[in-house]
């Protein structure tokens, strides 16, 4: 299947023309970022936490400490969700009411799975690292046994998802078209800036390739 099936859980009701259930679109947005937001319950309070992730096929990996309350809460659920958002522009209309944003977002729903096999845990940590900055895994020390044992890794097996995208200019009321107010899009771009080497780095160490080559457009792992 090339599309995620529409269900009452993932069907977009508001702004359905901006929705996509195409797997290539969903995975493309997922793979071009590395920060997601995950909701969980703590007592009677819903909390949303940003966390890094990595994807392989229909599974998304996240990790934390063995006592991480978000991770432990997710393992108590039959189904969880996460959201990824790219901000692409501020849409400035003639009226404040019609101001908006251009964006690409994905929400996925899936089943949480505890990853206990050390080999898969290590692979998951590599996937997350490479999702953040491709090439870094081979440049730095990988987790040792103690660090691996102290890390909780969860796989989220994707059972449903949707993307939602806005990529257009301002939509004003006809009555406002003659106002002397500028309307348009202020495009936004996320990009690396200055590289700052740690003061305690050894003398003579060059900036690694992963840092020199980093850009958001080259993110992504295998389907």
Indicate if the pLDDT at residue 223 is higher than 80: no
Q: For position 217, what pLDDT does the model report? A: 61
CA atoms within 13 A on the CB side of 121: 21
pLDDT single digits (tens) 123-176: 999 999 999 999 999 999 999 999 999 999 999 999 999 999 999 999 999 999
For residues 114 and 157, what is the distance between their CA atoms, to the nearest angstrom?
A: 11
pLDDT single digits (tens) 161-214: 999 999 999 999 999 999 999 999 999 988 889 999 999 999 999 999 999 999
Query: Is the pTM here over 0.95, yes or no?
Result: no
pLDDT single digits (tens) 71-107: 999 999 999 999 999 999 999 999 999 999 999 999 9
For residues 93 and 172, what is the distance between their CA atoms, to the nearest angstrom?
A: 6
Q: For position 125, what pLDDT does the model report? A: 97
Task: Name every residue whose Cβ is closer than 8 Å to that of residue 81 and which is 6 or more positions away in sequence.
Answer: 38, 39, 107, 108, 109, 110
Indicate if the pLDDT at residue 221 is higher than 50: no
- Determine the Cα angle at 6 with ends 90 and 84, to 5°: 35
219: confidence class by pLDDT, cuts 50, 70, 90: very low
Q: For position 182, what pLDDT does the model report? A: 96
Residue 204 CA: distances (Å) to CA of 54, 151, 165, 201: 32, 33, 45, 9
Architecture of the structural domain at 16-218: Roll (2.30)
More reliable by pLDDT, 44 or 108:
108
pLDDT single digits (tens) 44-77: 899 999 999 999 999 999 999 999 999 999 999 9
DSSP letters, 58-92, are TEEEEEEETT-HHHHHHHT-S-EEEEEEEEEEEEE
């Amino acid at each position: 299947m090339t599309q995620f099936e529409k269900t009452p859980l993932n069907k977009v009701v508001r702004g359905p023309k901006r929705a996509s259930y195409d797997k290539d679109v969903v995975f493309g947005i997922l793979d071009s970022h590395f920060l997601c937001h995950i909701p969980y319950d703590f007592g009677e309070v819903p909390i949303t936490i940003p966390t890094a992730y990595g994807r392989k096929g229909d599974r998304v990996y996240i990790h934390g400490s063995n006592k991480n309350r978000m991770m432990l809460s997710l393992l108590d659920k039959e189904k969880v969700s996460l959201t990824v958002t790219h901000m692409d522009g501020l849409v400035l209309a003639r009226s404040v009411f019609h101001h908006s944003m251009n964006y690409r977002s994905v929400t996925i729903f899936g089943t949480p799975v505890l990853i206990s096999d050390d080999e898969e845990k290590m692979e998951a940590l590599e996937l997350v690292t490479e999702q953040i900055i491709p090439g870094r895994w081979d440049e730095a020390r990988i987790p040792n046994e103690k660090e691996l044992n102290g890390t909780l890794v969860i796989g989220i097996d994707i059972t449903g998802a949707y993307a939602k995208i806005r990529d257009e200019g301002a939509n004003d009321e006809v009555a406002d078209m003659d106002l002397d107010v500028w309307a348009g899009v202020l495009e936004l771009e996320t990009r690396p800036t200055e590289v700052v080497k740690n003061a305690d780095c050894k003398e003579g160490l060059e900036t690694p390739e992963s840092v020199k080559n980093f850009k958001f457009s080259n993110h992504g792992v295998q389907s």
